[in-house]
Structures are given as structure tokens and as C-alpha cells.
């Protein structure tokens, strides 16, 4: 397999290397890249941008930071006008640099671009979903390097619910919070410990991720929408050195599903401008910036009750689904497909469901363990060679786990929302298409032997919900979803059968 190549935006090096909260992730990236002999480049155009800095001392410091990386040369003959035709208006010189970086990615001069610039992420997604998935935040790049090159499974355990008082203030999860919030210790004692607030934590050599929640009403909230039942995310933190294993997305999934199941009207969180990766994922899933406090803290809100919004920025049904996540449409225009999946892939993609009954039993006595791969997140990718086609973006995907050694077996267990389907004609293309959300190692991808004659189907989707209890084979036959034998390849579920299937799912549906 060809070695991965990364292009680093200078903002990662120049601005973030001095930020103590981000430094561990950046250090992990450079360390992993060096360990696995992965090439990391800085673009020649970005170096030119540094030269335009009128502060000579700052320019010298910037060049000293980027000197340790290789330079990716410009493509000859690429003009601003040509870049604007591809990537939209470029009013400023740094916009031209951004487009130049994306063009290098687009022509596969490198495999991935690493940047903390939200605008660059958005510009890439506007160009195409495929290009957007190859633009990574630092933590995502760390995750991809670890997943691809290091077969040792990441020790991510299930989320545990605890009271705030059970977490000692000496835990290192709080260190970087104190840097931004000087009176943090007092706030934690008065607001969280004394009020017995509940927290979700992910443990990995201590607390790796923390989310503190609070129930509010319209009479006592900072949210601008005064609903009756409001869930506030008071603190949302991943320990800096543990970024890159999707802990933040795992905690966010927990908050979404909890809020939906318990019928909250609104969920909201506050954030500062510098928290770029957090803001990006919040906006990706439909949080809206509704207000800014006097100290610059921004309020992001997401409505969870009433009719589904059809945002003007939505390009297709997938966009409608993701902006309203975890809710999704099930109207007459909804198409649905069944995807058979083998036990080993099911366990990788849905580790929450692996031996669920046994884990629940043991965890009651403090003996439980959990899957150790970071697969239990929202954004997923599935690989197959099924000859069947799938429908348009936004189609529902019902995953059927075939006959298995461990339970559940021969059931439809999960529902996904299709983003897109692409074909990979080489291992390198497979790497590029799965980057950022992959749970597959380098060896996993090589085994597929993607080629022109035998391409691999790459299915990108969101995990919408698990079906509890899963729908068993006997019931699927009774509903007419299956005939005599379970499916061997992807097939479309007809509308009248879909209605029967949806009636068996214990979630709120929105027409």
C-alpha cells in the first residue's frame, strides 16, 4: 500500500502549537507520522502567505516552526480565476491560499489536508462531500493514523453516568478547563457538586471525556428559545492527549439519543470562537448560533420537538436528516434499503450491541468491559462488493446481521441514513474515501484488493438509531420484508413493507 501523505495548513503549526489545550493532539500527530514514515507537507503557497506578514519577528518565528516539514510545490498555470470557478469567490489572499490547498488535495497530490480552519472545512464540503471528508481536524488525523497503522485496539470504554461529586478536582480532565476559566474550581463545587449534577464520562487511563448535563425550563435558561423541557450541556471536554479517538462524537451521540428518548424540546451548549472543531460538529448536526454573551461566549441551540425543519441550506434529504439529527423523515418520498452485514463487521461498526445482554449483566456487578475500537460514533463508513445499487442521499438503511455466534443473530439491529456511495478502484482510493471516519486498519484495507476490475463500494452514512429490541428473522418474514431466505445482497424495501417495518421501531417518527 502506498504511504499516506498529509498537507498541513500553517494555522495548525503557527497558531495551535502555542495553545496548550491542543498541543498534545498536534504532538501525537507529528509523532505518529514520524513513527510510520508518513510524509507531511506544507504548501509553497502557504509559505508565500507567511512571507506577506508585515511583522518581521513573527514571520521569522513562523518560518522556524514550518521549517521541519517538506514543501509541496505549486501547480504551474493555476490562476485565481480558475480556482474561483472550482471553489467559489476568493476575495482575500488567504482565500486563494485555501483554494490552492484544496486543489492539491483534489488532484491527489496528497491524501489528506489537516486544518483547524472551519471556513476551509466548509469550503471543501461545498465542493463535494468526498473532498470534505479528506479535510481533517488535527484530532481526526490522529484518529486516522492510529486506526490505519496501529493494530492495537483503542481502549475506549462505554459511557458511564456518575454524579459530579464522584470526580475529584485533581483529575487531569480539569487542567485545561482551569486555564480558560480561572474560577473553575469554585464553579464546579457550587454548581455541579452541590447541585448533584449528573455527568457522562468515558474512561481511558483516567477520565478521557466528560459531559455535564443540566435540566432547565424556559423560565430558567440562557437559551433564546423558551421551551418547557431543555437539556443544557454545561461542560463538554475531551482530555487533550485523548483527542483523536472520537470520544467527543461518542459523547455527543449519547446526548442526542438521551434527549430524544426523554422527549426534550431543546438541547443547547455554549462555546468560544477558538473551539473550532466543536463548533464545526455542532453546526454539522444542526445547532444554530442564537446569541453571544458579553464575554464572547456563543450559545448554540438545537430544537428537538415539533415539525422537522427544512433548512434553506439543505441540498438534499441527507442534509435535512443530518441537520435534524437524531430525527429523520419517513414520508412518502423516503426510500429504504436492507444491507446484510456479517458478524465481524457488525461488531466493528456497532460495538454497543456486541454481547449487550452479557455486558449489562456483568456491568451491574462492576465487571463489565467493552469494545475497544472507537466505532460507536455517529458518522460511519461501510465497505462491501454488493452488486445492488442504493438510492439517493437521505435514503434509510436497515442493517441485517446474519447468522452469528454471538447475539444478536439474524436480526435487523440498526438504522442508518445514507450520505453517498462511491467506488474505490485502488487501495489508495479506498484510504482516501474512508479517511476521517474509518475503523479499518491498513491491513483491513489491503485485504479488499480494490482494483479497476473489482472495485469496492464505499457507503458513507449516519447511524440514526439502534432498534430495541432488534427485529428477528421470523418477524421479518411475517412482515414480508424477507421471503423464505435472508438476503445475500443489498435490496430495496418496498413502501408498504417499509411502513410495517417502521411500526416495529420504538422511536418517534416524523412524517
Provide mean pLDDT across the span 159-186: 90
Residues 177 and 142 in one domain: no
Q: Is residue 508 part of a domain?
A: no
What is the C-alpha to C-alpha distance for residues 232 and 223, in angstroms, rounded to an integer? 9
pLDDT in tens, 35-62: 999 999 999 998 888 888 888 888 888 8
Q: Is residue 297 part of a domain?
A: yes
Q: Is residue 323 part of a domain?
A: no
What is the C-alpha to C-alpha distance for residues 17 and 26, in angstroms, rounded to an integer? 7
Residue 153 pLDDT greater than 60, yes or no: no
Element (H, E) at 201: strand 198-203
How high is the pLDDT of residue 404?
Answer: 92
How high is the pLDDT of residue 255?
Answer: 94
Residue 154 pLDDT greater than 60, yes or no: no
Residues 347 and 493 in one domain: yes
In the chain the first and final C-alpha atoms are separated, in Å, by: 46
pLDDT in tens, 455-472: 999 999 999 999 988 999
Instruction: Kindly give the residue spans of alpha helices, DSSP state H, lying in 364-441.
Output: 427-434
Provide mean pLDDT across the span 344-354: 85
Q: Is residue 96 part of a domain?
A: yes
DSSP string, 286-334: T-EEEEE-TTSPEEEEEE-SSSPP--TT--SHHHHHHHHTT--B-STT-
Is-contact 213 232, C-beta < 8 A?
Answer: yes
Provide mean pLDDT across the span 338-343: 94
How high is the pLDDT of residue 265?
Answer: 96
Provide mean pLDDT across the span 102-128: 94
Domain boundary among 118, 149, 180: 149
Residues 260 and 281 in one domain: yes
* Cα–Cα–Cα angle for 52, 57, 63, rounded to 5 degrees: 65
What does DSSP assign to residue 154? P
The percent of the chain in helix, strand and coil, each rounded to the nearest 5, is: 35, 25, 40
> Peptide bond before 408: cis, by omega within 30 degrees of 0?
yes
Looking at the chain, the whole-number percentage of residues with pLDDT higher than 90 is 57
Residues 264 and 397 in one domain: no
Residue 360 pLDDT greater than 50, yes or no: no
* Cα–Cα–Cα angle for 293, 297, 299, rounded to 5 degrees: 80
Task: Name the residue with higher pLDDT: 147 or 281.
Answer: 281
| Residue pointed to by grid coordinates 462524537 | 249
Give the domain extent around 423: 336-502
What is the C-alpha to C-alpha distance for residues 296 and 368, in angstroms, rounded to an integer? 43
Looking at the chain, the whole-number percentage of residues with pLDDT higher than 70 is 90
**114: CATH:** 3.40.50.1010
Q: Under the phi-then-psi rule, with left for phi > 0, alpha for psi from -120 to 50, and beta for the rest, what region is 494?
A: beta
Tell me the backbone φ, ψ of residue 210, rounded to 5 degrees: -140, 135
Residues 282 and 243 in one domain: yes
How high is the pLDDT of residue 14?
Answer: 67
Task: Name the residue with higher pLDDT: 12 or 136.
Answer: 136
Residues 358 and 431 in one domain: yes
- Cβ-based neighbours of 185, under 8 Å, separated by 6 or more: 169, 174, 178
Q: Is 159 helix (H, G, I), strand (E, B) or coil?
A: coil
Q: Is residue 354 part of a domain?
A: yes
pLDDT in tens, 286-296: 999 999 999 89
How high is the pLDDT of residue 157?
Answer: 53
Residue 370 pLDDT greater than 70, yes or no: no
Beta partners for residue 381, in sequence order: 460
**258: CATH:** 3.40.630.30
How high is the pLDDT of residue 311?
Answer: 77
How high is the pLDDT of residue 168?
Answer: 92
pLDDT confidence tier of residue 361, bands split at 50, 70 and 90? very low
Residue 372 pLDDT greater than 60, yes or no: no
Is-contact 311 319, C-beta < 8 A?
Answer: yes
Provide mean pLDDT across the span 158-162: 87
Q: Is residue 320 part of a domain?
A: no
Which of 21-25, 125-129, 206-210, 256-260 comes out lowest in average pLDDT?
Answer: 21-25
How high is the pLDDT of residue 288?
Answer: 95
187 CB burial (10 A radius; 0-12, 13-18, 19+): middle
What is the C-alpha to C-alpha distance for residues 476 and 501, in angstroms, rounded to an integer? 8
Q: Is residue 330 part of a domain?
A: no
Residues 123 and 75 in one domain: yes
Residues 360 and 493 in one domain: yes
Domain boundary among 96, 121, 149: 149
Cell numbers for 11, please give them: 494555522
Is-contact 373 345, C-beta < 8 A?
Answer: no
Residues 481 and 363 in one domain: yes
How high is the pLDDT of residue 274?
Answer: 85
293 CB burial (10 A radius; 0-12, 13-18, 19+): exposed
Residue 15 pLDDT greater than 60, yes or no: no
Q: Is residue 315 part of a domain?
A: no
Domain boundary among 253, 284, 306: 306
Residues 145 and 174 in one domain: no
What is the C-alpha to C-alpha distance for residues 225 and 479, in angstroms, rounded to an integer? 42
Is-contact 45 74, C-beta < 8 A?
Answer: yes
Cell numbers for 407, please give them: 447475539
Number of domains in the chain: 3
Residue 134 pLDDT greater than 50, yes or no: yes
Residues 78 and 169 in one domain: no
Q: Under the phi-then-psi rule, with left for phi > 0, alpha for psi from -120 to 50, and beta for the rest, what region is 366?
A: left
pLDDT confidence tier of residue 440, bands split at 50, 70 and 90? confident
pLDDT in tens, 187-227: 999 999 999 999 999 987 789 899 999 999 999 999 999 99
* Other Cβ atoms closer than 10 A to 426: 16
**399: CATH:** 2.30.130.30
Task: Name the residue with higher pLDDT: 363 or 224.
Answer: 224
Residues 245 and 372 in one domain: no
Residue 318 pLDDT greater than 70, yes or no: yes
Helices 118-127, 80-87: inter-axial angle, 10-degree rounding: 70
195 CB burial (10 A radius; 0-12, 13-18, 19+): exposed
DSSP string, 454-495: S-EEEEEEEEEEEEEEEEEHHHHHHTTSS-SS--SS-EEEPH
Amino acid at each position: 500500500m502506498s504511504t499516506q501523505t498529509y498537507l498541513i495548513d500553517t494555522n495548525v503549526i503557527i497558531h495551535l502549537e502555542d495553545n496548550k489545550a491542543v498541543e498534545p493532539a498536534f504532538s501525537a500527530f507529528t509523532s505518529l507520522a514520524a513513527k510510520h514514515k508518513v510524509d507531511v507537507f506544507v504548501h509553497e503557497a502557504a509559505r508565500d502567505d507567511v512571507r506577506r506578514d508585515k511583522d518581521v519577528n513573527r514571520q521569522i518565528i513562523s518560518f522556524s516552526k514550518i521549517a521541519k516539514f517538506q514543501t509541496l510545490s505549486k501547480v504551474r498555470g493555476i490562476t485565481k480565476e480558475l480556482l474561483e470557478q472550482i471553489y467559489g469567490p476568493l476575495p482575500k489572499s488567504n482565500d486563494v491560499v485555501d483554494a490552492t490547498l484544496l486543489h492539491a488535495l483534489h488532484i491527489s497530490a496528497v491524501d489528506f489536508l489537516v486544518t483547524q480552519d472551519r471556513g476551509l472545512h466548509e469550503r471543501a464540503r461545498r465542493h463535494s462531500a468526498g473532498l470534505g471528508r479528506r479535510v481533517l481536524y488535527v484530532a481526526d488525523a490522529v484518529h486516522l493514523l492510529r486506526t490505519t497503522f496501529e493494530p492495537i485496539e483503542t481502549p475506549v470504554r462505554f459511557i458511564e453516568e456518575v454524579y459530579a461529586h464522584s470526580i475529584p478536582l485533581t483529575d487531569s480532565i480539569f487542567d485545561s478547563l482551569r486555564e480558560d476559566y480561572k474560577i473553575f474550581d469554585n464553579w464546579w463545587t457550587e454548581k455541579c457538586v452541590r447541585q448533584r449534577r449528573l455527568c457522562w464520562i468515558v474512561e481511558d487511563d483516567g477520565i478521557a471525556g466528560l459531559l455535564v448535563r443540566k435540566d432547565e425550563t424556559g423560565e430558567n435558561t440562557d437559551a433564546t428559545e423558551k421551551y418547557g423541557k431543555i437539556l443544557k450541556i454545561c461542560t463538554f471536554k475531551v482530555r487533550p492527549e485523548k483527542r483523536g479517538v472520537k470520544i467527543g462524537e461518542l459523547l455527543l451521540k449519547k446526548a442526542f439519543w438521551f434527549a430524544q428518548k426523554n422527549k426534550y424540546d431543546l438541547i443547547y451548549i455554549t462555546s468560544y470562537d477558538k473551539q473550532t472543531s466543536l463548533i464545526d460538529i455542532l453546526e454539522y448536526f444542526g445547532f444554530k448560533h442564537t446569541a453571544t454573551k458579553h464575554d464572547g461566549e456563543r450559545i448554540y441551540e438545537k430544537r428537538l420537538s415539533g415539525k422537522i425543519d427544512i433548512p434553506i441550506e439543505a441540498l438534499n434529504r441527507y442534509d435535512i436528516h443530518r441537520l435534524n439529527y437524531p430525527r429523520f423523515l419517513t414520508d412518502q418520498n423516503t426510500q429504504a434499503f436492507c444491507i446484510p452485514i456479517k458478524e465481524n463487521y457488525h461488531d466493528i461498526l456497532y460495538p454497543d450491541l456486541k454481547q449487550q445482554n452479557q455486558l449489562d449483566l456483568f456491568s451491574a456487578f462492576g465487571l463489565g468491559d467493552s469494545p475497544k475500537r472507537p466505532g460507536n460514533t455517529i458518522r460511519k463508513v461501510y465497505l462491501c462488493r454488493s452488486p445492488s445499487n442504493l438510492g439517493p442521499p437521505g435514503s434509510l438503511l436497515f442493517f441485517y446481521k446474519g447468522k452469528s455466534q454471538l447475539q444478536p443473530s439474524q436480526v435487523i439491529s440498526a438504522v442508518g441514513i445514507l450520505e453517498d456511495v462511491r467506488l474505490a478502484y485502488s487501495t489508495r482510493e479506498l484510504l482516501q474515501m474512508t479517511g476521517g471516519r474509518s475503523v479499518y486498519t491498513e491491513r483491513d484495507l489491503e485485504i479488499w484488493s480494490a482494483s479497476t476490475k473489482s472495485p469496492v463500494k464505499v457507503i458513507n452514512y449516519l447511524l440514526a438509531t439502534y432498534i430495541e429490541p432488534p427485529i428477528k428473522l421470523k418477524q421479518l418474514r411475517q412482515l414480508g420484508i424477507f421471503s423464505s431466505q435472508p438476503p445475500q445482497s443489498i435490496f430495496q424495501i418496498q413502501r408498504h413493507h417499509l411502513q410495517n417495518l417502521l411500526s416495529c421501531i420504538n422511536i418517534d417518527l416524523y412524517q
